[in-house]
Structures are given as C-alpha cells and as structure tokens.
Structure 1
Amino acid sequence: MAHGEVELSVGVGGGGGGDAGGPVEPPVPISLGRLILAGMVAGGVQYGWALQLSLLTPYVQTLGLSHALTSFMWLCGPIAGLVVQPCVGLYSDKCTSKWGRRRPFIMTGCVLISIAVLFVGFSADIGAALGDSKEDCSVYHGHRWHAAIVYVLGFWMLDFSNNTVQGPARALMADLSGKHGPSAANSIFCSWMALGNILGYSSGSINNWHKWFPFLRTRACCEACANLKGAFLVAVLFLCLCLLITLIFAKEVPYKQIAPLPTRENCEAEAEPSGPFAVFQGLKNLPSGMFSVLVVTGLTWLSWFPFILYDTDWMGREIYHGDPQGTQAQDSAYQEGVRAGAFGLLLNSIVLGFSSFLIEPLCKKLGPRVVWVSSNFVVCIAMAATTIISWWATITVSKDIKVVCMAIFSFLGLPLAVLYSVPFAVTAQLAASKGGGQGLCTGVLNIAIVIPQVIIALGAGPWDQLIGKGNIPAFGAASGFALISGIVGMFLLPNISRRSFQAVSTGGH
C-alpha cells in the first residue's frame, strides 16, 4: 500500500463522518458560500490558539516558573488530544442529537474555551486575591504560586476545550463538503485557521490594550498582563460570533433520521463498548495506508513543535537578549522580542492564508506525497537556519538579523499550510475508501500529533537547560526530525494518484 496507487471511488462529501461500516449520512447539498461560513468556528478557535502560542509561554515565566518548567506546562495539550479528540470524534460519529452530530460538541467546547480564557487572563488577579504578594507588579518579580496554579488550571482547561472543538469541526467540514470534496473543505478550514492566526497574532503584537482599557491594569497585573487580558477578552467575543455563524449555516441531518431499521446485526453493533476503549478497538478498522500516514505525521510534528512552542521566547531571549526574570531593562527587551515574534507569526499566517489556496492545485499536479515530503525538507533548512541566526545575534547587534528572522517566520507559512491541510485531506480520502469513519480517523490522526508534543514537552526544556544554549538545541533537533520525516515520507506515504485526488476533491466517483 505504501508504494501502490490508492484509487478512491467513494466521495467523502456528506458521508465522511459515518462510523466505519455503519450507516453513512447521505450527501447534503450545500453551496460553496455556505460551506465557507460553516467552517468559521475554526477561525474563532484559532484566534485564541494563536494568542496561547505567542503569549502564554513568555507570560507564565513572569509568574515565577522557570524556562525549563514551561515545557512541562504544555503536556496538557497532548494529554487532552490523546484522550479527548479520539473520544469526541467517536461519539460525534454516532451522536443522535436533533442539532446534528458535530454541532453539540462544537458549542460545548466553545463555551468551555471562553471560561478557560477568563481564568488564564485574570490568573494574576485571582492569585493576588488568594494570597500572593500585595506588592505592585512593577517592583515585584518573584514567585506568584497561587496565580501560577490558577493559570495552569485555566491553561489545561483551554487545551481540553480546544480539542473538544477541533475534531468535530474538521469532521463537520468533511460531512458537508458534498460536491466540493474534502480537499476543498480542508482548504477552507485551513484558510479560517490562517485568518484566526492573523487576528490572534495581531492582537498579541499590540502593546496598547492597557491604554485602551486602563481598567485591565491592577497592582497584580502590569502592562504585559493587561495586554494579555485585553487580547483574550476580544478573542472570546470573536469566538462567540464565529460559533453563532457556524451553528446557523452548518445544517446537519440528525443521525437518528438516517439510521436503518433495527436488525440483529445492528443490535449487536450497538452492544459494543462505546467508552474510551472503543477508540482503541476502532484502530483495527482503520483504512489501509492509515498507519503510514500516522508515522509520517508524528515525525513531521516532531520537527514543528519546538518552533511552535518557543518561537516568541526565542525572539525574546536569543535575538533581543532579554530575560523575563532579569533586570527591568532585560525584561523590557524580552517583551519587545515577544511582540516582534508575534508580528513574525502574523506574517507567517498571512503567507499561510494565501498558501492554503495553492495546496489543492499543487496536490493535483504533483501528488500529496510529493507536496508533503517537500515541505518537510523546507522545514529542515529553516530550522537549521535559526541556529546560524542565533549565533549571528551573539556577535553583533544589527537590524538585519531581525529582518532575517521575519523572513524565516514568513517563509515557514508555506510548509505550515501543508501541515494544516494535506495530512487531513489524505486521511479524509482514506476514510472515504473505507466507507466512513471521518470522526474516528481524524481523532486517531490527532494521536499522531499529540505524542510528538509529549516528547517535546518532556525533553525540550531539560535538553536546553542541560546544554545551556536557550532554545537552540531544540531547534537543532527539529531540523533533524524534519530531515528524517522527509526521507521516511518518500517511502511510507501512500501514493495517492493525482487523478484519484482530483476525483474525490471535486466530488466525483
């Protein structure tokens, strides 16, 4: 299967979400405009996720957590993804709510995201109320353990909530894609993610929230904290708007209305376990070629997570020579670097947004395997370049270094568009060849994403501290993983034919 052509003769549109081997929902006619609006919730979720990636690693260090410990904080993401997404994907495949299979999970997750964001944003104030130092935050730079605990709880809740939404949201797009096909649906989803990134990173790079909303600044919450609160409050409002539009335009057919009449076989199927262990039972029903996709996906994300988790911290430490727990001048330099990193991520997201429209044509012309493997080699070169740039920054202070950093951020937008789109499109097509199971397959694919995050979260901080080179060792390892993933992908990824890819992506048979 790894070397043969995968000929898919079953369109995913509408049917991608059924459970494998069970009743599959008939295609629901939907216009392209309506499909675009149905995926808007992805933009709302990604807005908050962008803020989380760009601001929270630097912010938690102002509460007293060391740089090495911040990597352990990110363990909640993979744990949530490992447990929540596959279970939610499985349950949403069989949900019989009158509101549809996916929308109840999407709405629940968005409500929980809003609550979690408030905990994170107001953690310093809550910590002060629980007994942290009463000194003004402008002069006190010590540990604030109550605030840190509240922050970590909110952070974990935010990751669990994000995972509750992401799987069903992707499966919803595949369910509704119809004649437009899963590739077009993934491109739309990726475009909304890019827009959410642009808005989120723009908010993260703004240093005026505390001026526009002066009531956000308190004795426990200085300028950086007030800016964080302002950006997250706007994120909640935007998420609510996106959720409302998705709920309105994503019309689903209730699962119970399309189920066949009870038979002995159906009763036996319904008697099967439906808890978390059912996810692992479902692994044996994965489409042929899915295992290879999982292996390459895991290696690809190993090359991305160091940069995703530490990009703004890298700018603050290595490029701007700052320290969040140092002198006032060092702290100011660090915060300036974090804002510069957020601006770099904004440029990255703009390139990501435009690139997302190129992925489908590239896959039709070159094939998904070539596009995916090529993007991994691009990441290998980019991650290796960060080491050279960091060394350059230690011997000279030049604006050229910062310009080159912005170019690296922008350049990575193209392979990031591949990362956000191609693995999911390939998974959707493999699920179509099996006859359904989009929710389960998407959830299982997420396992291949979260395991690398566990490895990076456990290893990056201690590894960097052991070598004493800041974020550079983790970035060097990322370059190596990108090279390995590119080589392995050349041999393992299923060779989906361009003709087959185009037939499915246009809804043909």
Structure 2
Amino acid sequence: MDHKGGGGAGGELELAGTRGPGAVERGNAAPATKPLSLAKLILACMVAGGVQYGWALQLSLLTPYVQTLGLSHALSSIMWLCGPIAGFVVQPCVGLWSDRCRSPLGRRRPFILVGCVLICCAVIVIGYSSDIGYALGDTKEHCSVYRGPRWHAAIVYVLGFWLLDFSNNAVQGPARALMADLSVGHFGPNAANAIFCSWMAFGNILGYSSGSSGKWHEWFPFLQTAACCEACANLKGAFFIAVILLIFSMSVTMIFAREVPLPPRNSGKADEEDGDGERMNFFAVFKAFKNLPPGMVSVLLVTGLTWLSWFPFILYDTDWMGREVYHGDPKGSPAEVAAYDRGVREGAFGLLLNSIILGLSSFLIEPLCRKFTAKLVWVISNFILFAAMAATAIISVWSLNDYRGSIQHAITADKDVRIAALVLFAALGFPLAVLFSVPFAVTAQIAANGGGGQGLCTGVLNISIVVPQVIVALGAGPWDALFGKGNIPAFALASAFSLVSAFVGFFMLPKLSKSNFKTAGVVGGH
C-alpha cells in the first residue's frame, strides 16, 4: 500500500498537531532524539516484557479463577468488556495526550510510569479479592470445603480486573509509540518491531510458565489463608512476581529511554488556543474514519474480522483445556475441580509454547513480507487461523467422545488429545505474530506518509480491535449457552469468521509493496 501526499487521514490527523512520528502541535519541529546503541534500544523497551508477563497471567488464569468465585461461564465473558472499553477510550486519548505531553520526563514515559503503578495496584487487589470478600462476610467456612458463590470477592475481583485492563491500555500505546520514536533515523522501525515483539514473547514465556507451574502455594505457604486455598495462592504468588518484574522493567525503561522533552507551552492567548485545540483533537480520532486514505478501510475491516476469530480463543483457551480436554468443572466435585485445575495449568503450558513460536516468528515476518508482500502473508495466516479454530472444535468432539471417566476416579485427559491440543496452541503462534506486526506496519506507513502522530494513529487502529472484543464479550457466553455450556460453539463461529477474513483480505486488501513494508514496520500489541 503506497499512500502519498497529505490528504485523507493526514489532513484530519493534523488537527491533532502532529505531523509525522515525532512532530508536535502547531507545526513546530519535533525535538530530535539522541541516537541509541542497539543494547540501549533493547533495554528501553523492557517494560513491554513486564506488562506482557502480567497480561499472560490475566489471559491464562483469570477467566477460570473468577468462575470459582461464583460467576457463570456465560457471565465471565462479560467481565472482559473492560478491555474494549479501555481500548476505545483510553488508548486514543492516551495516544493523543502522549503526542502532546510536555513533561520534563518526555512525552511517553510519564504515561508508562503512572500506568505501571496502577497495574501493580490492580494485581494486588485481584490477588487478595478472596481475602477481602472473606473479611466482608462472604462465608465463614474454610475455602477447602465451601463451594458456594462469593459475591463480595467477585465484585472486588472484577473491579481489580477492570483497573488492570485500563492500566494495561494506558501503558501499551505509549510504549509502542516510544519505540517508534527512538528508532526513527537510527535503526529503523523494523528493529523496533522485532525488539518489541521479542519482549512480548519473553514476557509471555515467563507469564505462562508461572501460570502453569502450580507450585506457588508450596514455595510461599504463607499465601494460603482460610479464604485462599491452592488455586488462589498460586494466583497470588504469580502476581507478586508480576509486581516485582514490572517495577524492575519499568525502571530500566525509564532510565534508558532518554526522551527529549517538548518545549514548554507559550503563556497567555497561545496557551488558551492550545487547550481548545486539544479538546477538538479528541474528536479528530473519530472524524478520521470518514477521511481515511484509500485502502485503510480494508485494513480496518480485515483487522476487525481477524480479531473476531481470535477473541473467543483468547477468552476461553485455558477454560477449554480444563473443560473439554480434561473434563473438569470449576464448580463441580473435588475430582472435577482438580481435573479442571490441571487443565488450566496445561493450557498455560500450551500458551507458553505459543509464545515461543510467536517470538521466533516475529523475526520472520519482515523477510516474508518483503518476499511475498504483507497482503499474502496476512491472508495465509488467516487461513491457518481458520484451520486452527476448526481444529479446536474437532479436538473437543474427539475428547468428549473418548471420555469414559467417572467422578469416583481420577479424571484426566487422553494422551493423544492432550498432544493434539498442545500442538494447536503452538501452531497459533505464527498467525498471532502476523497479527501483532502487519496491521501496525501498515498504520505506521500511513502515519509517516499521511502526517499522523504514532500515538494517535495507533489509537485509531485500536478501535478496529476493541469493537470485535465487545461483540465477543457480549455474545460468546450466551452463544455457548444456547448450544450447551461448553466452548465448542464459540470456537466454531470463530473458525467461520477467520475464513471470511481470509477471503475478504485476499480480495480487498491493497497490495503493500515489498519496499514499503521494509520501511514501515512498527511494534504490535494484543
């Protein structure tokens, strides 16, 4: 895709006062960033790994855990509405504000600092939700014998979960934009893309390893209380490590990401005009949709359809392992609960394999796109996604047909079914790497050629991600309940969406030239 000139979205986005990745309002030249060595560029992005560690725990452990507090399988998907709401509101606003921030710390680092502090608060609230609910009167019974709902704990948990998602969104956008800022004119955005995706993969590997270990209650026995048994203590311990890792990685980023601050605002009337401009600029994010450059609408459409395929798996992957593969139930008999917990840990291990393939694939995306074009790579990845989503339904039916377990005996999964499920988790790493790279690369090219700031343009693309998440969060639970209480219906529908997205991408995506992609790479995110 080759967009020249300053029309379309470029003219609209210039209302935000940003002309290019590092530009500032009123058309003033952006302060030049000092060249960084490759080692310092890598360290400047470390916060991505710390945030992704917590995000991996959120994806692998929190949907199963909240069902132990009393939320049903259908209602647990509603909890994830915080993600799209945060993405729709927080990322465009934070992206816009970070483009214009005049803090002595720079444009991006103040938002990274505040967001990381809020993430730490959120995970502590989530980890202690059972203890807080116990103190508020959920039950006086010990957690080892009580199987009823704990509504106070569930409310505290959901509040912490929402704060966590809002805080994650407040960090992710500025972190991506920071890497784009620091790489411009030095190593190039392709280096930023590879570094950012590698830190994401590293954070995922640590997070999913932590979630799959199941040993935190043994290593830190003081985490267990009358309200918090093994599964809860494991969650608490993993999140304590998340706080330590996030503080460390944030500190490294704050030290090595030396931004040059924007000059102070002029006083008086000019100051008032700047304030009026900022209020107007919030609506520029949404006005940009009707003035997008040719081809960008197709990119947003394919991105949205692809995420419609991904979100059912993202929401229910470990729950699927616990229910359909291991035949457990988070609110069933002790044997069923134990089987479900084993499945959740096995699912976290599958996500660990997924992250390894994601990390390796992230280095292959740019060469593949230069050889075959980004359009073809994206379309092929969606066909792979279609096959994988169809395979989840096939594996589920296979597992349920072969199951001959009894609650009087240890419930476990068939060995062949487990292996097939783990292979599926690993195979999904490649299409996920494509999704984390190609759409953002196209958007970066538009930001560079059309005149939009990196922070603002990332927020615009994010809207095509959060809308599908709203649809899935509202519809996946009732859709599964309509055909039964498992995950097969949502995964089957996800397979259909991925097939549609592949064909839409093949016929509608503009051809992104190989040379353009080479200079358009940018960091991607979940």
TM-score (normalised: structure 2): 0.90
Shift of 1:274: 2.4
Aligned in 2, Cα 1:20/1:391: closer, same or farther, shift over 3 Å?
farther
Q: Name the CA shift for 1:21/1:470 in 2 (closer, same or farther; >3 Å).
A: farther
Residue 203 of structure 1 contacts residue 231 of structure 1 at CA under 8 Å; is this kept in 2? yes
User: Which residue identity does 1:456 align to in structure 2?
Assistant: V
How many residues were matched structurally? 497
Query: Equivalent residue of 2:367, what SS?
Result: helix
Look up the match of 1:145: 151
Assess, with a 3 A threshold, how the Cα gap between structure 1 residues 432 and 153 changes in structure 2: closer, same or farther: same
Shift of 1:69: 0.6
Output the CA distance in 2 between the equivalents of 1:264 and 1:228.
53
Q: Percent of pairs identical after alignment?
A: 67
Q: 1:29-48, aligned counterparts within 5 Å?
A: 29-48=35-54
Is 1:483 the counterpart of 2:503? The answer is: no
Match of 2:454 in 1: 438
Q: What per-residue deviation string (whole Å, max 9, x for no partner) do you get for residues 17-64 of structure 1?
A: 436884452552222222111111111001000000000000001001
Match among 314, 318, 324 for residue 312 of structure 1: 318
Counting only pairs closer than 5 Å after superposition, residues 227-306 of structure 1 correspond to structure 2 as: 227-256=234-263, 271-274=276-279, 276-281=282-287, 283=289, 286-306=292-312
The answer to whether the 8 Å contact 1:19/1:438 transfers is no
Cα 1:264–1:220 shift into 2, 3 Å: closer
Contact 2:318 2:344 in 1 (8 A): yes
* Matching residue of 2:14: none
Given the alignment, which residue of 451, 456, 459 partners 2:472? 456
The Cα of 1:501 is off from its aligned counterpart by 2.2
Q: Which position in structure 1 is the counterpart of 2:83?
A: 77
Cα distance in 2, alignment partners of residues 106 and 368 from structure 1: 31
| Closer/same/farther in 2, CA of residues 97 and 270 from structure 1, 3 Å limit | same
Tell me how far 1:273 sits from its aligned partner.
4.3
Q: Is 1:17–1:439's contact at 8 Å kept on the other side of the alignment?
A: no
After superposition, where does 1:38-187 map in structure 2 within 5 Å?
38-178=44-184, 179-187=186-194
Could you report, residue by residue, the CA deviation over 1:395-430 in whole angstroms, capped at 9, with x for unpaired residues?
A: 225201100100000000111111111111211111
* Counterpart for residue 471 of structure 1: 487
2:220 aligned with 1:204, yes or no?
Answer: no
CA distance in 2, matches of 1:81, 1:471: 25
- Give secondary structure in 1 for the equivalent of 2:70: coil
Matched letter for residue 449 of structure 2: S
8 Å contact from structure 2 (residues 22, 31) kept in 1: no
Query: What is the one-letter code of the residue matched to 1:332?
Result: A
Q: Of the candidates 2, 17, 21, which is equivalent to residue 16 of structure 1?
A: 21
Q: CA deviation at 1:86?
A: 0.5
Distance 1:355 1:21 in 2: 41
Distance in 2 between the 1:269 and 1:453 partners?
34
Distance 1:270 1:365, change over 3 A: farther
Give the Cα–Cα distance (whole angstroms) in 2 for the partners of residues 363 and 129 of structure 1.
56
Instruction: Give the partner amino acid of 2:515.
Output: R
Aligned partner of residue 436 in structure 2, secondary structure:
helix
Call closer, same or farther: CA 1:147–1:267 in 2, change over 3 Å: closer
Q: 1:277 to 1:320 in 2, by over 3 A?
A: same
What amino acid sits opposite 1:384 in the alignment? A
Residue 225 to residue 322, structure 1, CA distance change in 2 (3 Å): same
Shift of 1:500: 2.2
| Paired residues of 1:92 and 1:168 also in contact (CA < 8 A) | yes
Report what 2:415 is aligned to: 399
Asked if the contact 2:112/2:170 (under 8 Å) is kept, the reply is yes
CA distance, structure 2, for counterparts of residue 459 and residue 174 of structure 1 = 36
Which of 386, 393, 407 lines up with 1:387 in the alignment?
393
CA deviation map 1:57-95 (0-9, x unaligned): 000010011111101011111111111010000111111
CA contact (8 A) 2:25 2:100 kept: no
Q: C-alpha deviations, 1:158-196, integer Å up to 9, x for none?
A: 000001001111111111112322232122111111111
Residue 96 of structure 1 aligns with an amino acid whose one-letter code is: R
User: 2:345 — aligned with what?
Assistant: 339
Report the Cα distance in structure 2 between the residues aligned to 1:8 and 1:52, rounded to whole angstroms.
42
CA contact (8 A) 2:442 2:520 kept: no
Q: Could you tell me how far 1:266 is from its partner in structure 2?
A: 10
Pick closer, same or farther for the CA change 1:220–1:266 going to 2, 3 Å.
closer
Give the superposition deviation at 1:496: 1.9
The one-letter code of the counterpart of 1:271 is D
Q: How far apart in 2 are the matches of 1:462 and 1:57? A: 16
Q: CA deviation at 1:469?
A: 5.2
Cα contact 2:106–2:261 (8 A) shared by 1: yes
Closer/same/farther in 2, CA of residues 17 and 296 from structure 1, 3 Å limit? farther
Give the aligned residue type for 1:315: M
Give the whole-Å Cα distance in 2 for the aligned partners of 1:353 and 1:250. 23
Deviations 1:273-306 (A, max 9, x none): 4274353345566555333222111111001000
Secondary structure of the 1:218 match is coil
Q: From the superposition, tell whether residues 422 and 264 of structure 1 become closer, same or farther in structure 2 (CA, over 3 Å).
A: farther
What letter matches 1:439 in structure 2?
G
Aligned amino acid, residue 204 of structure 1: G
Give the 3-state SS of the residue equivalent to 2:437 in structure 1.
helix
Deviations 1:73-123, CA, capped at 9 Å, x for gaps: 111111111110100001111111111110000110000000000000000
Whole-angstrom distance in 2 between the partners of 1:20 and 1:216: 50
Q: Output the CA distance in 2 between the equivalents of 1:167 and 1:489.
A: 26
- Counterpart of 1:447 in structure 2 is 463
Change (3 A) 1:504 1:119: closer
The whole-number CA distance in structure 2 between the counterparts of 1:296 and 1:458 is 21
Which residue identity does 1:228 align to in structure 2? L
8 Å contact kept, 1:17–1:171: no
Further displaced range: 340-349 or 262-271: 262-271
- Superimposed CA distance per residue, residues 234-292 of structure 1 (whole angstroms, 9 cap, x where no aligned partner): 001000011001111111111227x9x99999986653242743533455665553332
AA aligned to 2:58 is Q
Deviations 1:445-495, CA, capped at 9 Å, x for gaps: 111111111000000000001111510111011111111111111233232
- 1:393–1:401 Cα contact (<8 Å) kept: yes
SS of the equivalent of 2:330 reads: coil
